[in-house]
Chain A
Amino acid sequence: MPNDMILLLGVNHKTTPLAVREQLACGKGYEEPLHALRNIPGCKECYLLSTCNRVEIVVVAQKNAQVEEDIAKLLFGTSVAPEQRQDYLYVYRNNEAVHHLFMVSTSLDSMIVGEAQILGQLKEAYRHAAELKYTGPVLNKLLHKSFSVAKRVRSETQIGASAVSISYAAVELAKKIFGTLENKNVLLIGAGEMAELAAEHLVSQGVRKVVVANRTLSRAMDLAKRFNGTAVSLDELFSQLEQADIVISSTGAPNIILHKQDVQPIMRTRRNEPIFFIDIAVPRDLDPELNNLDNVYLYDIDDLHNVVETNKSERDKEAVKARRIVDEETLKFQNWIDGLSVVPTITALRKKADDICRAELERTLCRLQHLTADEQKAIEKMASAISSKLLHDPVSFLKNENCKEQNEVKVEMIRAAFGLEDKD
């Protein structure tokens, strides 16, 4: 490893506008760019991640500046002038590269911190590179580590726990009221885009029926068709309220369309079945007083925004914890990398043999109390002679200068065969 480095180059949503990201040569498909990467002189292992928010390349390569230049050329292709690349591109080496990869896998570098999608994309990208056998001992270890770091962050922090978009917040609240959303009915009042978005999330949770009530019936029918629901006119609103469990209102009406005194008798017919009103219209459609009725829950757009904001600040607290985990794991990985060079491996090997000798000698000698001091010394000598003769071959195999470029493989092999892996 001493002559190699881990190199990470990439662009993401923070550094590069979508228009540029779309133009990137590596943006589509995996195989071709991976082949091209592998063919760059000095590149030993390579891997490529390409999602809609980022394109990142990680290679293990010889320490020289040309490799970096070649990869950048490959990444941007002809779409970006070389002098402009520096504005978009970020380059990390060794420790920093490891740290960045962990930040990505744990979603700390994502647009929405805490999202789980990136881990799946990372695994997919790794699968492509591994199938082509373009990953070696270092990248294999590094990527597997990045998966386990992501898992650790997920189980030790609450980073992915809370909803950070309005639609998700609405679903989360509905679940706290109803438990499961299966066999619940959704009523959309007004057929705006926001209502559509919110309804989409609810439908993905398996609600039973969607009813759309709108002033113009044709628009209602269009929307109802999307969700396999039914369309009704606004005049039927009250009778529909008797069956609905979740009501999303988003009309352009200038005044309140549903008052407390309208809903009160409906609650009696509903036998107090709970009902959840979501008012995303501005100005508001629903009487704020509704929330004071028993078994009626009303959230308007500001309330939902507040929920999202609280969740965000909660999540930021968790992100601090997650960063600490990433730092910790980066350090651990660095220790592993350091162990990959020949000298520490030989030291570790000798230490292990010495430890075993000492332990075994102690056990044997205390049972053989009648031996003289000289005899004891002789036995000790024999033990250390056996161990050093046994070690002679593996050590000279490691020291062999003839196949230096395969040092990592050799070191990995010896470490695994003699159980020198650090337990983490």
Chain B
Amino acid sequence: MGETSYLLFLMVLTASCMALIFYGIFFVKQKKSVRTLARFTLLTAGVLQTLYILFRYLQTGYTPITSQHETIVFFAWSVTWAYLSFQWRYTVKNFGTFISLLLFILLLLAAGASRTINPLPPALQSWWLPVHAGIAVISYAFLALAFCGGIMYLLQERELKSKRFGYFFTRLPSLDSLDQLNSHCLATGFVLLTLGIISGSIWARQAWGAYWQWDPKETWSLITWFLYAAQIHQRFTAGWRGKRAAIMAVIGFTAVLFTLWGVTFLLGGVHSYAQ
């Protein structure tokens, strides 16, 4: 079973690498046929990731979002499907190139992490595990999309303001579509993030007896939540958009990354099951 699982993971890694290569070629050449190929490859990668996660579920007997490796793979899976669901509604020019790059980096990190299966600690043996961790990671995926969109916005805005048009100008979409992307992903990501924190808090009450106990992970989640809440509030009241929104999306995502990894490695606390 371990062999098959490893094989599946290699397939996931290969498919994502192919998707990145095809999207890269599309970025340079801007040929539609290449884009179709790239989309299909990314879809394949998404399906393979789903299979791998299901397989891992059967292998371990619990929802695989506990170890470093599992969390990153689940994160990658969420990014892929968040992007695919998003792209299904409308396309943002060359967004796929940036997403597939992020995806490949994530999967490389997953490849570096230990794939050993640890017995599930008693505290995590609950159906709250998939609910809480699942929702939280999916919310991170949408915030990751906002992050990629923000980077693209900043690149494009710099070209327009400096009036010197380099390689990216023709290849990046309009500022407006990137700003819309930011707004959509932010809204979805924020709602999910809120749900993730609430579900975690309810679970904490059941497992540890208190809704909130200022564990570092909780604290940092709250900080992240406030960052995004401020951003959304400003967007809807004062019309924060464009460059400022893009910068905030980048800052917010750094906070997300710190909550996800920084806390575990630097601060510890009760959330640090996976070492």
A binding-site residues for B, Cβ under 8 Å: 161-162, 173, 175-179, 268, 270-274, 291, 294-295, 297, 299, 303, 306-307, 310
Contacts and interface: CB of A to CB of B under 8 A. Distances in A.
B209 interface: no
Nearest to B238: A271
A295 B163 contact: no
A178 B176 contact: yes
Interface in B232-269: 238-244
A87 to B, nearest CB: 42
Contact of A295 (B170, B177, B243): B243
A268 B165 CA distance: 29
With a 10 A CB-CB cut-off, give which of A270, A271, A272, A294 has the most chain B CB atoms.
Answer: A272
Nearest to B174: A179
B156 interface: yes
6 contacts: A177-B160, A177-B175, A274-B242, A294-B244, A303-B163, A306-B163
Contacts of B161: 291, 297
A243 to B, nearest CB: 15
Contact of B240 (A175, A179, A272): A272
Contact of B165 (A161, A274, A310): A310
Q: Interface extent on B, as a size class?
A: 10 to 19
Contact of A179 (B176, B243, B244): B176
A176 B177 CA distance: 9
B244 A176 contact: no
Contacts of A162: 170
Contacts of B243: 294-295
A174 B240 CA distance: 21
Contact of B241 (A177, A291, A295, A299): A295
Q: Which 7 A-B pairs have the closest CB atoms?
A: A271-B239, A179-B174, A179-B176, A272-B239, A295-B242, A179-B177, A303-B163
Interface string B169-180: 110011111000
Interface string B149-185: 0000000100011010100011001111100000000
Interface string B214-247: 0000000000000000000000001111111000
A178 B238 contact: no
Contact of B242 (A272, A291, A307): A272
Contacts of A175: 174
A173 B160 contact: yes
Nearest to B169: A176
Contact of B239 (A173, A273, A307, A310): A273
Contact of B174 (A178, A268, A273): A178
A299 B165 CA distance: 13
Contacts of A178: 174-176
Nearest to A174: B174
A247 to B, nearest CB: 16
A307 B163 contact: yes
Nearest to A176: B174
Contacts of B160: 173, 176-177, 297
Contacts of B239: 270-273
Which residue of A161, A176, A294 has the most chain B CB atoms within 10 A of its CB atom? Answer: A176
A175 B244 CA distance: 21
A303 B175 CA distance: 19
Given A176-B160, A177-B176, A306-B163, A272 B241 contact: yes
A291 B242 CA distance: 14
A303 B160 CA distance: 11
Given A161-B170, A176-B169, A294-B244, A274 B176 contact: yes
B225 to A, nearest CB: 24
Contacts of A307: 163, 165
Contact of A177 (B174, B238, B244): B174
Contacts of A161: 170
Contacts of A179: 173-177
Contacts of A271: 238-239
Contact of A299 (B163, B169, B170): B163
Contacts of B244: 294
Given A176-B160, A177-B160, A299-B163, A274 B174 contact: no
A66 to B, nearest CB: 51
Contacts of B156: 176
B1 to A, nearest CB: 50
Given A161-B170, A270-B239, A303-B163, 17 more contacts: A175-B174, A176-B169, A177-B176, A178-B175, A179-B173, A179-B175, A179-B176, A268-B238, A271-B238, A272-B240, A274-B241, A274-B242, A294-B242, A294-B244, A295-B241, A295-B243, A307-B163
A76 to B, nearest CB: 45
B156, B160, B169 — which one has the most chain A CB atoms within 10 A of its CB?
B160
Nearest to A155: B31
Contacts of B165: 307, 310
Contacts of A173: 160
B210 to A, nearest CB: 42
Nearest to A272: B239
A178 B242 CA distance: 11
A268 B163 CA distance: 25
Nearest to B170: A161
Nearest to B240: A272
Interface in B3-50: none
Nearest to B178: A179
B46 to A, nearest CB: 27
A271 B179 CA distance: 14
Contacts of B238: 268, 271-272
Tell which of B163, B170, B241 has the most Cβ of chain A within 10 Å.
B163
B192 to A, nearest CB: 26
A239 to B, nearest CB: 18
Interface in B106-123: none
A153 to B, nearest CB: 15
A393 B181 CA distance: 71
Nearest to A303: B163
